[in-house]
Amino acid sequence: MQLAPYQARCLREALRRDEKGDFIYSTIVWSDIKKSIKSCIAAAVAEWVAFNTAWGNIYLIANDLQQADSRVGYYARRAVELNPDMREIVRVKPSGYYMEFPNKTFIRAIPIDPTGEAGANPDMVQFDELWGAHEDAKRRMWVELTVPPNKFGKSFRWVSTYAGFNGESRLLEDLYEQGVKGGRQLWPDELYDVTGGNPTPVEAYSNEAARQFTLWNTQPRLSWQIPEYYAQERAVMDDSEFNRVHRNQWAQAKSEAIPIEMWDACREDIVPIMPGDRTPIVVGLDASDTHDSTALVGVSRHPTRHGDVAVRLSRVFVPTKGKPIDFDTTIGETLEEWKKNFVIIQVAFDYWQMVYFSKQTSKKMSLWFKAFNQGVDRQKSDAQLYELVTQHRIAHDGNKELREAITNAVAVKNPTTGAMRFDKKSASTRIDALIALSMASAECLRLAL
């Protein structure tokens, strides 16, 4: 295996020993961008430990048994298969999950089972893609397979991964905080190649108190990591996904915005609102002239449950390529029609997109336009809408455009405050109707209607 200079430098440091022959580090976090041979290096280290430790125990763990075996386990077996000398002396069980070396040391891929591994006495534990370790069982597995006291300085845990999701990949976050933020950067004056850019120091850190070495590389440094490849990847991935996988940067945790089955369960045969009805209506407006759609959603208090919300009006405009949306002939004419037929109390809108239009239309139609803050207020309204749906406190008639917007949305949590906000599933999807509904619902319940 030919290592890049930064990999060789980091590997020498990660496995460095003191004057007594003990390992300096008990925890090694090897975090690098996608396709930087992380699993190959982990497999090589595992076999190096195996050949140099009699009666040793080496465990390979990932988010499931198949992943543990198909990543590091696969490369370890492949090394044996390709080397005639190793084939003669290393026994690989047919299942592939177990390899035994001539000195009675074994390498075993195991599933997540913290109770089954209690009391283990490992010489090396390799955790693959730790960013996916969300469940309590995986955290307990990490604890159970810590370095045992009788092997202090002789044993270590090796983590190979790239970045995870803030607030979700908690185990890896703790290691990142301890290793990168709590550590000392090594070799800040040594420059290593960056593909398509100027050489930079490698992001390697040492936390002596925690006995942790951390490589957290964020740059493409290998010959096959070329600019053309990343240009292709940027075209098919959103920024958050690209930066996590290809730049080893933390991403915001995302989950389904609103469970679609819960939204469907809120469908009711509510009395349709007819022209001339005096029910007070609040309209939410989320607009874009070129890229996203523009949506108007009108809601009222529920006709029989006054503390709940009912969706009464909805209209979505989608721009065509090379032809921006004309706000006057779309939003303007729609609001004029609705004001003529219904009682429009307020239009809640995103101030950033609609400054000029809102002022002009407010004067022309005598409509109350209220700028809706897209920071804290949007977080509150999105969370409130989620509760309205999950508590069956909103009614709708099955509007297809609203349903599509909900399926296109994810919930993004702020890792510091825990606040939730709706966002697009991908750059090409549209969720404007959902945002309009969120603003309208919040104002409808705030006002004394």
pLDDT digits (tens, 9 = 90+) for 175-208: 999 999 999 999 999 999 999 889 999 999 999 9
CATH superfamily of 5-252: P-loop containing nucleotide triphosphate hydrolases (3.40.50.300)
Q: Which of the 8 DSSP states describes residue 105?
A: -
Q: Residue 141 forms beta bridges with which residues?
A: none
Mean pLDDT of 246-275: 87
Locate the domains of the chain by residue range: 5-252, 260-446
Range list of H helices, 274-416: 333-341, 351-365, 376-390, 400-407
Report domain 260-446's class. Answer: alpha beta
**Which of 381, 357, 358 has its CA nearest to residue 434?**
381
Q: Cβ contacts of residue 12 below 8 Å, gap of 6+?
A: none
Same CATH topology for 5-252 and 260-446? no
How much of the chain, in percent, has pLDDT values that exceed 70?
92
pLDDT digits (tens, 9 = 90+) for 350-395: 877 677 788 888 888 999 999 998 888 999 999 999 999 999 999 9
Mean pLDDT of 42-57: 96
pLDDT of 324 higher than 80: no
Rounded Cα distance, 16 and 18, in Å: 7
Q: What's the angle, vertex CA 220, arms to CA 68 and CA 167, rounded to 5?
A: 55
What confidence score (pLDDT) does residue 282 get? 98
pLDDT tier at 336 (50, 70, 90 boundaries)?
Answer: very high
To the nearest whole number, what is the mean pLDDT of the chain? Answer: 89
pLDDT tier at 133 (50, 70, 90 boundaries)?
Answer: low
Rounded Cα distance, 249 and 241, in Å: 9
Rounded Cα distance, 116 and 378, in Å: 46
CA distances from 157 to 42, 103, 123, 124 (A): 11, 21, 8, 6
